[in-house]
Amino acid sequence: MSFEHAFSEAQRAGVYRAIHERRDVRSQFLPDPIPPAVLARLLEAAHHAPSVGFMQPWDFLVIDSLEVRRQVHDIFIRENEKGARQFSGERQQRYRSLKLEGILDSPLNLCITCDRRRGDGPVLGRTSIVDMDLFSTCLAVQNLWLAARAEGIGVGWVSILDQGELATVLGLPEQVYPLAYLCIGYVSEFLGEPELARKGWRQRLPLAELVHANGWGRGVTDDELRQALGDSCRP
What's the average model confidence in pLDDT over 87-111?
A: 96
Tell me what percent of the residues of the chain surpass a pLDDT of 90: 84
- Indicate the pLDDT class of residue 221, thresholds 50, 70 and 90: confident
Number of residues written out for the chain: 235
Question: Cα(50)–Cα(107) distance, rounded to whole angstroms?
Answer: 28
What's the chain's Rg over C-alpha atoms?
20
Q: Looking at residue 220, what is its pLDDT? A: 82
Is pLDDT above 90 for 208? no
Q: Looking at residue 233, what is its pLDDT? A: 55
Question: Cα(228)–Cα(177) distance, rounded to whole angstroms?
Answer: 40
Global confidence as pTM: 0.93
User: pLDDT for 178-203, tens place per residue?
Assistant: 999 999 999 999 999 999 999 999 99
Structural domain boundaries of the chain? Answer: 21-202, 205-235
| Alpha helices, H only, the chain | 9-21, 36-47, 66-84, 89-97, 132-150, 163-170, 195-198, 223-232
Three-state DSSP at 40 gives helix
Question: Cα(84)–Cα(107) distance, rounded to whole angstroms?
Answer: 27
Q: How far is CA 230 from CA 21, 98, 165, 210, in A?
A: 20, 31, 45, 11
CATH topology (fold) of 21-202? NADH Oxidase (3.40.109)
What's the average model confidence in pLDDT over 76-84?
A: 97
Q: Looking at residue 235, what is its pLDDT? A: 44
Question: Cα(174)–Cα(190) distance, rounded to whole angstroms?
Answer: 37
- Indicate the pLDDT class of residue 173, thresholds 50, 70 and 90: very high
Is pLDDT above 80 for 214? yes
Is pLDDT above 90 for 37? yes
User: pLDDT for 45-64, tens place per residue?
Assistant: 999 999 999 999 999 999 99
Which amino acid type is present at position 115?
D
Q: Looking at residue 3, what is its pLDDT? A: 86
